[in-house]
Structure 1
Amino acid sequence: MKVIVAGLSKTGTKSMADALRMLGYSVYDYMENYEYLHKDWEKIFAGDGTTDDFRRMYKDVDAITDTPAAYFWDEIHKAFPDAKIILTTRDNEERWFRSLKVQGDQVREALNPLWYLSPTYQSFRSYTNNNGLAAYGTPWYETMQPINRIKANEMYYRKAYRCHNAYVLQTAPKDKLLVYNVKQGWEPLCKFLEVKTPSEPFPHINAGGKMVADLYRLHPTFIRARREIMIALAIIGVLISCFFYSFYALFLS
């Protein structure tokens, strides 16, 4: 582990993940943490994680971005004390919350009752809810459900954002910390990491939190979930057909 991006979601974490990959780092972002490590994270969410767990989880990974890793940055840094820490921030708290809300709206639009037929989706939903509880004190997916009465508490989110950033600033070793806005581009990032500046433009991914539709459409996790939905629907169709056939044979023949 060489780089720990400690900024919360919606502080340019997708851009950071892409930028670090362009610089040659292997990166675990939100979905990689789910795809490869969600069982470990469920253990950590339950309060049973250890420094040795983090050391094992990330021994072959160069960098981590986004929650839940960003929220547990200090524990991960104990496992990798030589890693550098980057606190990604937004111009101001208002922009951060507005971006978070837009992404929440995108998730709400993408939700469909059929997703509940997929074990993969149920696993991802649990992971995401527990991540929200850890980082913000609220189950993220539950606040996205129109039928639920749980609503995102703006003041609570803002407080969580302030507290997290303050904790990083107060706790991270100053000689290993970069406070960074992705608008600053390559120069401060590459200087901090002591790497050559790429000739390509700095990436800006998921501006305004609008990549959710592509995620649900293209990511292997949700491709697998859709396949499970189709299988479940086929089984339900067969069961319904068998029921009506049995009903016809028993009562109408």
Structure 2
Amino acid sequence: MKVIVAGSPKTGTKTVAAALRELDYEVYEFMDHFWYHEKEWKKILSKGGSINDFKQMYQDIDVVTDGPSYLFWEEIHKAFPEAKIILMVRDEDAWCESALEQYRRIRNHPGFIISCFSPIGWKMSRFLQMTIMAMHGVLESYPVTFNSHLNEMVLRKSYRQHTQYCLQNAPKDKLLVYNIETGWEPLCNFLGKDIPEKSFPHKNKQLDFVDDRHLSHPYTNRVQRELLIVLCLLVVIIAFGVYIVAVIAF
């Protein structure tokens, strides 16, 4: 482990992940945490974990970011004390507005709702539910949330608490307080990397959380295969039902 991204979602986590990949780091985001370590995270979020859990999970990974790992930056840093920590900061009003809209879009996104008809998609929705509970202390009923408990007061409180705790407790010689609008220079200087010639990436600015990496991820491929199987089973069941009705009728 080389870098722990401690910034809350919607502070530029996808942008930082893309930038770090450009700098040749292997980065795990939310979907990777689920795909590769869902069982371990379920244990940590429901029963608790240990420093050794994080050592085993991420010993061969360069960077962790996004939920639920950012919540446990301190424990992960104890497992990897030489790792550097990046805390992204953003205007609170802009962050809160963006976070509320992102959660609304997730709840109403057809692809997310349809994916929950596959076994792995359903497991992902449960994992997301546990992660949001850990992040904000409220229970969201995914895949369809009729009465969302996420509101401005809850979000602001969780954002402030996490940001202030990190600022106060992260070792100053290992911490970069970072605004993605400042681009490559402070990030590369902090990591001791040369500044790439290409422009700095800006991901998810339009709240388009389904990107190319999402579409090519093994999780998405698994969902598609399972949905095809479910669809075929439904066709067989419907056809059999029609046949039975026809036999009875005639």
Asked if these proteins are the same fold (TM beyond 0.5), I'd say yes
Q: Which residue does the alignment assign to 2:185?
A: 187
1:252 partner amino acid: A
How far apart, CA to CA, are the structure 1 residues paired with 2:209 and 2:18? 14
Question: In the alignment, is residue 93 of structure 1 matched against residue 117 of structure 2?
Answer: no
Q: Which residue does the alignment assign to 1:232?
A: 230
In structure 2, the CA distance between the partners of 1:115 and 1:195, relative to structure 1 (3 Å rule), is: closer
Question: In the alignment, is residue 167 of structure 1 matched against residue 169 of structure 2?
Answer: no
How far apart, CA to CA, are the structure 1 residues paired with 2:212 and 2:84? 31
Question: In the alignment, is residue 252 of structure 1 matched against residue 227 of structure 2?
Answer: no
* Alpha-carbon offset, residue 71 of structure 1: 0.7
How far apart, CA to CA, are the structure 2 residues paired with 1:103 and 1:131? 15
The answer as to whether partners of 1:10 and 1:209 remain within 8 angstroms in 2 is: no
With 236-245 and 196-205 compared, the bigger mean Cα shift is at 236-245
Aligned residues: 249
1:153 partner amino acid: N
Matches within 5 A, 1:145-160: 145=144, 148-160=146-158
Q: Which residue does the alignment assign to 1:31?
A: 31
Cα distance per residue 1:117-167 (max 9 Å; x no partner): 20011011011111101111124563x735x22332210111000000011
With 199-208 and 171-180 compared, the bigger mean Cα shift is at 199-208
How far apart, CA to CA, are the structure 1 residues paired with 2:94 and 2:139? 22
Matches within 5 A, 1:50-129: 50-90=50-90, 92-111=91-110, 114-129=114-129
The answer as to whether partners of 2:2 and 2:83 remain within 8 angstroms in 1 is: yes
The answer as to whether partners of 1:129 and 1:138 remain within 8 angstroms in 2 is: no
How far apart, CA to CA, are the structure 1 residues paired with 2:5 and 2:107? 27
SS in structure 2 at match of 1:86: strand
How far apart, CA to CA, are the structure 1 residues paired with 2:165 and 2:13? 18
The answer as to whether partners of 1:10 and 1:99 remain within 8 angstroms in 2 is: yes
SS in structure 1 at match of 2:116: helix
Structure 1 residues without counterparts, runs of 5 or longer: none
Percent of counterpart pairs with the same letter?
A: 43
How far apart, CA to CA, are the structure 2 residues paired with 1:115 and 1:178? 37
Q: Which residue does the alignment assign to 2:12?
A: 12
Cα distance per residue 1:21-78 (max 9 Å; x no partner): 1111111112211221112111111123211110000000111111111011111011
* Alpha-carbon offset, residue 214 of structure 1: 6.0
Structure 2 residues without counterparts, runs of 5 or longer: none
The answer as to whether partners of 1:110 and 1:213 remain within 8 angstroms in 2 is: no
Q: Which residue does the alignment assign to 1:177?
A: 175
How far apart, CA to CA, are the structure 2 residues paired with 1:228 and 1:244? 24
In structure 2, the CA distance between the partners of 1:230 and 1:87, relative to structure 1 (3 Å rule), is: same
How far apart, CA to CA, are the structure 1 residues paired with 2:59 and 2:80? 9
* Alpha-carbon offset, residue 217 of structure 1: 5.0
TM-score by length of 2: 0.92
In structure 2, the CA distance between the partners of 1:141 and 1:214, relative to structure 1 (3 Å rule), is: farther
How far apart, CA to CA, are the structure 2 residues paired with 1:196 and 1:213? 27
How far apart, CA to CA, are the structure 2 residues paired with 1:216 and 1:149? 27
